[in-house]
Amino acid sequence: MNRPSTLAILFDHHRWAMEQVCNAAEPLKDALLDRPVEMGLGSLRKTIQHLAQAEKAWMERIAAPSPAPIQFAEVPKAPGELLKVLEALHAERNGWLAKQCDESLQTQHAYLNTRGEQFSDRLCDILLHVYNHGVHHRAQIVNMLRHCGVQPLKIDYIFYRIPRNHEPPHERSRDLIADYSACGDWAMARLFKAIEPLDDAALDRAFEMGLGSLRRTMIHIADAEFWWWENWRGSPPDAFPTLQEGQTRADIRRRFEQLSRQRNDLLAGLSDRDLERKVTARAAPGREFTFTLGDSMLQLGCHGTLHRAQMLNMLRRIGAATPGLDLVLRTRPGA
């Protein structure tokens, strides 16, 4: 089922994206790196450090033969030095992944969190969480960098793949993509529930992130599902949908859930080899790209994570309850 190779591709994207982030942050003065912000870990530096600390902790957990208490380790403060830590972790993880097979990644692995509580998850779910955790926090980091005067970084999975489209297609794991899609649907359900108590003023409050408001960002997530669905079925629109204002939260939820069912039904009937099929997509007139079906499905998963990270920050800013969206929480009681 090629879970190891698919995860290796995702972590290659993660390494590339972190390189862009650290290189963009390296020239910034300490005052900007440490400036308090209402997102992430509270500052640009702390958020980048958190990603390195979390990766190190998870690598130690999956490499340990039995549960052991692990705390976040000290990591360098300079973005350039942090990148060296991340590069070393990437090499260590790749070496570990190269020894795995599809069956070994589906085994349960017990570990302790930083509070000493014991949990158990499949190894592939832990790794997917680590990757997705990076996507989530990079959405915040890109926004912080923008406020430091850095040109917005294009570090989505699809931007990693575009210059590599000439490479022979690599077989992707249908099952792992289905897992990632299911995690995204679970996270969206939690966000839809979180916005239920909000009034229209809160839904439409203006923010300098995402699509500008909670409502508009939710509409955009559903629009992306629709756009990719049309591309997958061989009817590529001439451009990405123009955002239609005024949709109710109930309408947005119904549309998203219908599209996610279509996506999941499509996935259920595919084989790993089917994911190599080429898909043409037009972002705008004259901007046409071709991707494999598997890569476009991975991009859709990453895209949802990025915008859900923005929605969580919007919810925090208005004082609303924020659901946990870490993928390892999905199997917890009550999730």
The half-sphere exposure of 126 on its side-chain side, counting CA atoms within 13 A, is 26
| 260 Cβ contact partners less than 8 Å away, ≥ 6 residues apart | 181, 184, 185, 188, 225
| 246 Cβ contact partners less than 8 Å away, ≥ 6 residues apart | none
- Contact (CB, 8 A) for 2 and 172: yes
Q: State the pLDDT at residue 167.
A: 79
Q: DSSP alpha helices (H): ranges in the chain?
A: 3-25, 30-33, 44-63, 79-97, 102-105, 123-147, 157-161, 174-195, 200-203, 214-232, 249-268, 293-317
- Residue reference for tokens 């109930």: 250
CATH code for the domain defined by 3-155: 1.20.120.450
Q: Between the CA of residue 41 and those of 192, 200, 313, what are the distances in Å?
A: 24, 29, 11
Q: φ, ψ for residue 118 (rounded to 5)?
A: -95, 135
Amino acid at 126: I
Q: Give the whole-angstrom CA distance, residue 198 versus residue 221.
A: 19
Cα distance from N-terminal residue to C-terminal residue, the chain: 27
Break the chain into its structural domains and give their ranges.
3-155, 174-331
More confident: 167 or 127: 127
- Contact (CB, 8 A) for 173 and 270: no
pTM of this prediction exceeds 0.75: yes
Q: Tens of pLDDT along 231-256?
A: 999 999 999 999 999 999 999 999 99
Q: 3-155 with 174-331: one CATH topology?
A: yes
Q: Give the whole-angstrom CA distance, residue 316 versus residue 136.
A: 15
Q: Tens of pLDDT along 92-138?
A: 999 999 999 999 999 999 999 888 889 999 999 999 999 999 999 99
CATH code for the domain defined by 174-331: 1.20.120.450
